[in-house]
Amino acid sequence: MDGMTYWFRHAAEPRAVPRGRQFAANALRDWGLEHMSEAVTLIASELLTNAVAATGTTKAELSYRERETLPLVAARLRVSSRTLMVEVWDTSRTLPRMRTPETDAEDGRGLPLVTLLCERWDTERHPSGGKVVYAVLPLALPPVRVAEAQVEPPPVAASREEPERLPTRVRKAGGEPKVRPDAALLTRLERLLERKLGRLVAIGA
Give per-residue pLDDT as tens, 163-184. 444 444 444 445 544 445 556 6
The answer on pLDDT for 99 being more than 80 is no
The answer on pLDDT for 51 being more than 70 is yes
Name the pLDDT band for 106 (thresholds 50, 70, 90): low
Average pLDDT over residues 83-104: 83
Query: Which residues of the chain form CATH 3.30.565.10?
Result: 4-138
Name the pLDDT band for 149 (thresholds 50, 70, 90): very low
Name the pLDDT band for 186 (thresholds 50, 70, 90): low
CA distances to 21, 32, 197, 198 from 5, in Å:
16, 14, 109, 110
Between these two residues, 97 and 144, which has the higher pLDDT value? 97
The answer on pLDDT for 88 being more than 90 is yes
What is the reported pLDDT for 172? 47
In 3D space, the residue among 23, 59, 16, 65 whose CA is nearest the CA of residue 40 turns out to be 23
Instruction: Round to whole Å and give the CA distance between 187 and 87.
Output: 99
Helix axes 16-31, 37-55, angle to 10 degrees: 150
What is the reported pLDDT for 178? 46
4-138 architecture in CATH? Answer: 2-Layer Sandwich (3.30)
The answer on pLDDT for 3 being more than 50 is yes
Tell me the pLDDT tens digit for each residue of 53-64.
999 998 888 998
Residue 67 CB: number of other CB atoms within 10 A?
15
Question: What average pLDDT is seen over the chain?
Answer: 79
Cβ contact 136:120 at 8 Å: yes
